[in-house]
Chains A and B, each alone.
Chain A
Amino acid sequence: MMGTLAHSTSSGPPSAGLAPPERMQPKLRISRLNFFYGAYQALHNIELEVAANRITALIGPSGCGKSTFLRVLNRMHETVRGARVSGEVLLDSEDALAMNVNQLRRRVGMVFQKPNPFPKSLFENVAYGLRVNGMRGGSRLHEAVEHSLRRAALWDEVKDSLHKSAYALSGGQQQRLCVARALAVNPEVLLLDEPSSALDPIATAKIEELLFHLKKNCTIVIVTHNMQQAARIADETGFFLLGKLIEFGKTETIFKNPSKKETEDYITGRFG
């Protein structure tokens, strides 16, 4: 189930920290989201709409909760004991918190901060998600693997060494491999948690370029502590601080004309 066709957003007055003005049904709709680690509350009443086939960036200083928030979207928080969530997360109007978690994770994929390829061959890494979801080996599998590697802009570099170990690749290539691996199951949403923080500028540029192409068929949410990156590639940006979503809106607005003082302080570098 791919996302709906892209629809240009109407330009209007700067958002006041809530969902942007009227447009197509959002891909992800988060309401009244609170998150607790035991007794400690990490997220406070998050309200957010992620537009389909756009790149949405989440920025904020370290520890502000943006990664925590991201991990709720594919329910990776459930791997931590004592983590509790309240509120609503709708994926195309379906309750993401109640559906079968493995099915959710097929539709909402994730790329992690540090590249984490499996100790298997390149081919097997990309094929993993497909095999786990029942695809048998054969030409279909090969085609799917090639397609994913092309989408991740890695095919040309590795097509002759698919059976080599993933660990033989450079850091940047490994991260693109992880992107290919995530793309293989055709997710509707791709979550990226600071995907290029461990990479050099050239590898970072490659990742950003491929995200730009990906958004045509995929909704992308990217957490980044690099404001320039958000400014470069994101359509919409949300600013988190101390577990609250302070402001959310078109990237240009957030960066050039923020309506909250905290946002302005962060953007202009007055702290963090």
Chain B
Amino acid sequence: MADTATLPAGGTADTARVGFLNRLRSGDAIAHLLTLAFAAVILLIAGMVVVELFRSSSEARHRFGWTFFVTSGWDPVAGRFGALPFIYGTLVSSAVALIISVPIGLGAAIFLSELAPPRISDALTFVIELLAAVPSVIYGLLAVFALVPLVRDYIYPFLHGTLGFLPLFQGPTYGVGMLTAGLILAIMVVPFVISISRESLLAVPNDQREAALALGATRWESTWHVVVPYARLGIIGSIFLALARALGETMAVTMVIGNNPQIAASLFAPGYTIPAVIASEFTEATSDLHLSALVELGLVLFLLTIVVNAFARLLVLATTRRGTARP
């Protein structure tokens, strides 16, 4: 009969107990360890990026400390570096981009999810999502050669003429400036707002719409009062993702922001953003301190986008986990 004397007595047989060699032979451990090693590379990269950014910016950080973020002058020759204009420019251009792109993006998303017949909606969404794949320099070309004349010859006269009393719209322009940069940024982030908002809206259960309609609401009322609030977490998430993209956008902005490290109230005045100054000055940096200051700007940008992104993903995660917004 069974030679049970030589077999281990029955005890708890964990998956682990089966023996490391056994699993190694079964190839399980090899697959696990090999792929894990490659996956861990990404942690290595993330760590190295952070370390290198800190290291390369150390000269500037030690020289200027916290005053870096609140000083305004940027004079490479004299060795004075203040980050405020760039932080200001980055934030303002992104804000302009959001102010323009969110209503339009949300409106388009509503149309695509609630009103358009499915085939048309899919076709239009297909085209809009292609826009997300257009490289930044191409948008830059559009900005420089089509948008700048547009701002200079049409938008500026109109806004300056009608609303020129506002500090926002005062002063002369050459077509480049904060508004133009905000416009091209808006064009670039709108596909993201549309895409994610549309999916959030589509995820709203149909019985919500039907409940509103059954109470006599019009399609629009049911959409605006019921569907959109239900999907608000995903929509807000899309806005934050759009913000993160706008903050880091480099090429198109560099080409139309005007490259002037000043803080001005007017949207028509030239300005500067963090990515733009890095792109423009890095290869021409006159000193190690200059380079270090630019890297510190890059570090600020890095941390800023990480925070915004983390927050955005939390929102989108909350949408998918719980269904959608709690009332």
Contacts and interface: CB of A to CB of B under 8 A. Distances in A.
A93 interface: yes
A25 interface: yes
A100 B15 contact: no
A223 B298 CA distance: 63
A97 B8 CA distance: 10
Contacts, number: 44
B105 to A, nearest CB: 39
B13 A100 contact: no
A86 B13 contact: yes
Contact of B18 (A29, A86, A98): A98
B3 A97 contact: no
A101 interface: yes
Sorted from nearest, which 8 A-B pairs have the closest CB atoms?
Answer: A93-B2, A88-B10, A86-B12, A97-B13, A95-B7, A78-B15, A85-B13, A87-B10
**DSSP class of A's interface residues: helix, strand, loop or mixed?**
strand
A98 B19 contact: yes
A102 B13 contact: no
B25 interface: yes
Interface string B5-41: 0011011111100110010011100000000000000
Interface in A68-125: 78, 83-88, 90, 93, 95, 97-98, 100-102
A31 interface: yes
B1 interface: yes
A29 B10 contact: no
A131 to B, nearest CB: 15
B22 A100 contact: yes
Contact of A84 (B1, B13, B22, B26): B13
B26 A102 contact: yes
Interface residues on A, range: 10 to 19
5 contacts: A84-B15, A90-B2, A95-B8, A98-B8, A101-B26
Contact of B14 (A29, A84, A88, A90): A84
A58 B140 CA distance: 70
Interface centre among B2, B7, B11, B27 (most CB of A within 10 A): B2
Nearest to B3: A93
A97 B12 contact: no
A213 interface: no
Given A78-B15, A83-B15, A93 B8 contact: no
Contact of B1 (A25, A85, A97, A100): A25
B10, B11, B12 pick with most chain A CB within 10 angstroms: B10
B10 A101 contact: no
Nearest to B6: A95
Give the residue among A83, A88, A102 with the most B Cβ atoms within 10 A: A88
Interface of A: 25, 29, 31-32, 78, 83-88, 90, 93, 95, 97-98, 100-102
Nearest to B14: A84
A31 B7 CA distance: 13
B13 A93 contact: no
Contacts of B14: 84
Given A78-B15, A100-B22, A102-B26, 14 more contacts: A78-B18, A83-B15, A84-B13, A84-B15, A86-B10, A86-B11, A86-B13, A90-B2, A95-B7, A98-B7, A100-B25, A101-B18, A101-B22, A102-B25
A8 B15 CA distance: 38
Interface string B145-162: 000000000000000000
Contacts of A93: 1-3
Contacts of A101: 18, 22, 26
Given A93-B1, A93-B3, A100 B11 contact: no
A84 B8 contact: no
Contacts of B3: 93
Contacts of A29: 2
B28 to A, nearest CB: 8
A93 B22 CA distance: 19
A31 B2 CA distance: 13
Contacts of A31: 10
A116 B19 CA distance: 30
Contacts of B2: 29, 90, 93
A93 B5 CA distance: 11
B18 A97 contact: yes
A85 B14 CA distance: 6
A85 B15 CA distance: 8
Nearest to B9: A88
Contacts of A102: 25-27
A31 B25 CA distance: 27
B11 to A, nearest CB: 6
Contacts of B27: 102
